[in-house]
Amino acid sequence: MTARLRPLLDREKIQAMVEALAQRIQQDYQGKSPLIVGTLKGSFIFLADLVRRLDLPLEVDFVQVQSYAGTESSGRCRVVLPLSTPVRGRDVLVVEDIVDTGATLNCLMEYLKRKRPASLRLCAIFDKPSRRKVPVQIDYRGFELPDEFVVGYGLDCDQRYRHLPDLWALEEE
Ligand code: PRP
List, for residues 58-78, the tens digit of each pLDDT value. Answer: 999 999 998 765 544 455 688
- Residue 72 inside a domain? The answer is no
Let me know if residue 43 belongs to a domain.
yes
72 against 156, higher pLDDT: 156
| pLDDT band at residue 12 under the 50/70/90 scheme | very high
Angle (deg, nearest 10), helices 44-51 and 11-28: 60
Residue 43: predicted pLDDT: 98
Centre of ligand 1 to C-alpha 133, Å, is: 14
Q: What is the pLDDT of residues 159-169, one digit of tens each?
A: 999 999 999 99
| Tally of domains in the chain | 1
Ranking 6-15, 66-75, 77-86 by mean pLDDT, the lowest is 66-75
pLDDT number for residue 74? 55
The helix (run of H) or strand (run of E) holding residue 21 is helix 11-28
Average pLDDT, the chain: 94
Q: Is residue 26 part of a domain?
A: no
111 domain-assigned: yes
Quote the pLDDT of residue 69.
54
Ligand 1 atom closest to the CA of 102, numbered from 1: 12
Q: Is 106 in the pocket of ligand 1 (CB under 6 A)?
A: no
User: In whole angstroms, what is the distance from residue 142 CA to residue 155 CA?
Assistant: 15
| Rounded average pLDDT over 25-47 | 98
**CATH (domain of 113):** 3.40.50.2020
Q: Which domain holds residue 153?
A: 3-21+34-66+77-172
Q: Which of 105, 101, 98 is nearest to 132 (CA)?
A: 101
Q: Tell me whether residue 28 is in a domain.
A: no
Beta bridge partners of 60: 36
State mean pLDDT over 7-29. 98
Q: Is residue 29 part of a domain?
A: no
Is residue 27 in a domain?
no
Q: Would you say residue 99 lies in a domain?
A: yes
Residue 75 Cβ < 6 Å to ligand 1 = no
Record the pTM: 0.95
Look at residue 172 in the predicted model and tell me its pLDDT. Answer: 84
pLDDT tens digits for 125-155?
999 999 999 999 999 999 999 999 999 999 9
| Ligand 1 contact, 101 CB (< 6 A) | yes
Distances 170 to 89, 129, 150, 151, 160 between C-alpha atoms, Å:
42, 19, 6, 7, 11
